[in-house]
Structure 1
Amino acid sequence: MTDRSATERLDEVPALADTSGMKEPPTTARGVRTRAALVAAARTVFERDGFLASRLTDITAEAKCSIGTFYTYFTSKEEVFTAVLEAAQDDMLHPGMPRVDDADDPVAVIEASNRAYFETYQRNGRLMRLQEQVATIDEDFRRRRLERGEAFARRNAKSIEKLQQDGRVDATLDPMMTSRALSGMVSRLAYSSFALGEDWPVDDLVETSTRLWANALGLTTPR
């Protein structure tokens, strides 16, 4: 079997959290349901109270179970937080994109990508805000967050570089710096709207961010 290149491995998006030290998942249907109820309850409490202020008694009360039951499935508040991120990971990291009829239109691709990002952020805004909080107190979590941002920036930089090679984007732009700047703009718009509560309509965010992307790259936006 051929090993993948180092570049391909670098572009892999790291998981939201390290799940290697977690307890083994339950094997019975009842155990699976109880664990899922604890994870759902933990997300509710974390998003409502913040990570630092949340207590295990709040989580178990929300899940309608005992502290003893909690310790059957998790060893700590940190571990159940990891489980919350694991449950949300597929939606947050791989939201998918709407179908683009003309894949040769880079502006349409940018628009579809931005829409998928904003819609995902809208569904998970409070959890995104919680991640910011935890990143300030957990070094491993902060490192993983930076690595995810770097992986996404490299992907966008490759797309920009390809457009430069095709003569469709300003060749004097540094692809990686441009990717960081434009991705950071979209990320901040999403955070302000859905994590901090400014609540801009998704359509407006998509239209504005897509036009700014296209204008910065020298592309033509559709009328």
Structure 2
Amino acid sequence: MCVTEVKRQARAERTRASLLRGAREVFEERGFLDAKISEICDRAGVAYGSFYTHFADKDAVFAELIDEMLRGLLTVMRAEALNGDGPEARIARANRAYLRAYEKSARLMAVFEQVATFSPAMRETYLRAWGVFYDRQERAIRGWQEAGLVPADIDPRTAAVALATMIGRTAYTWFVLGRPHEDGDVDQLTRLYCRAIGI
């Protein structure tokens, strides 16, 4: 690749990154429906036509932002070992890590929730992302059942869905809706989770 091509590619990557930053700001401030491509370009400091060099439409730039956000959440989740110092300690670490990661992206997560109610593509992304969380928690609960730590009459899938939803909706009410909470409330979530599965 020649020097000119390298410079052109670097410039294109900078423009794309600027558009993504600008889009995130606009989506977080205005929501999806009221966001305009012209404002995204203004925030990014690029010409209007440059947007279409990188993205087909508003949906495409939003989808990329959501993919990036979800990769971050999944990285946090996957960094949490499935085994270690016992189920309660693992659940506590996972809950705290998830809540920290959610808080960092709460404004974009709120827009994601909004768009998933009317966009079939975003709804599918939303359900797929939650499916990963459900699967991981289901595997953990099954493993604890095999070790004799969780009663056999608890259905691992139902428990995983219910308890992941409890943590997710709590995060939404705290960080999106602004419900006051204290550090001890996180401990309470872990206690509720553990008691629900008989730990």
TM-score range relative to shorter protein? 0.7 to 0.9
Number of the residue aligned with 1:216: 196
- 1:199 Cα deviation from its structure 2 partner: 4.8
| Aligned-partner Cα distance in 1 for 2:101–2:185 | 13
Q: Separation in 2 of the partners of 1:82 and 1:35?
A: 14
1:38-90 Cα distance to aligned partner (Å, 9 max, x none): 10000000010000000011111111222112222222111111222233332
Q: Distance between the aligned counterparts of 1:69 and 1:116, measured in 2?
A: 37
SS of equivalent to 2:141: helix
**Where does residue 32 of structure 1 map in the other structure?**
13
Structure 1 residue runs of 5 or longer lacking an equivalent are: 1-25
CA distance in 2, matches of 1:93, 1:205: 23
- Number of equivalenced pairs: 192
Q: Please say if 1:157 is aligned against 2:138.
A: yes
**Does structure 2 conserve the Cα–Cα contact (< 8 Å) formed by 1:97 and 1:113?**
no
Higher relative contact order (CA 8 A, sep 6+): 1
Return the letter of the residue paired with 1:53: D
Write the distance in 1 (CA, Å) between the matches of 2:131 and 2:80: 26
Q: What are the residue-to-residue correspondences of 1:92-131 with 2, within 5 Å?
A: 92-96=73-77, 103-131=84-112
Whether contact under 8 Å (1:98, 1:112) holds in the other structure is no
Aligned mates of 1:205, 1:69 — CA distance in 2:
47
Summarize the Cα distance change of 1:50–1:216 in structure 2 as closer, same or farther, 3 Å threshold. same
Q: Distance in 1 between matches of 2:136 and 2:69?
A: 22
Alignment of 1:85 with 2:61, yes or no, is no
Q: Aligned partner of 1:91: which letter?
A: G
Contact 1:92–1:124 at 8 Å: present in 2 too?
Answer: no
Q: Give the counterpart of 1:69 among 41, 47, 50.
A: 50
Q: Distance in 1 between matches of 2:56 and 2:132?
A: 31
Residue number among 173, 179, 184 corresponding to 1:204 in the alignment: 184
Amino-acid identity (%): 36
Structure 2 distance, partners of 1:119, 1:199, is 15
Note the C-alpha offset of 1:145: 1.5
Q: Does 1:191 align with 2:166?
A: no
Contact 1:97–1:112 (CA under 8 A) maintained in structure 2 = no
Give 1:159 shift.
1.2
Q: Is the 8 A contact 2:80 2:94 kept in 1?
A: no
* Partner SS state of residue 50, structure 1: helix
The DSSP-based 3-state class of the residue aligned with 2:88 is helix
SS at match of 1:28: helix
Provide structure 2 residue ranges, at least 5 long, that are not aligned to the other structure: 1-6
1:32 Cα deviation after fit: 0.8
Kindly provide the amino acid, as one letter, of the partner of residue 85 in structure 1. I
Query: Would the aligned equivalents of 1:41 and 1:59 in 2 still touch at CA under 8 Å?
Result: yes
Q: 1:162–1:96: structure 2 CA closer, same or farther, 3 Å change rule?
A: closer
How far does residue 27 in structure 1 lie from its aligned partner after superposition? 6.2
For the aligned residue pairs, the C-alpha RMSD in angstroms reads: 2.1
Alignment TM-score, normalising by the size of structure 1: 0.79
> What code does the residue aligned with 1:55 have?
K
**Native 8 Å contact 1:157 1:179 kept in 2:** yes
Match of 1:147? 128
Say whether residues 1:47 and 2:42 are aligned partners. Answer: no
2:147 to 137, 142, 166: 166
Distance 1:197 1:145, change over 3 A: same
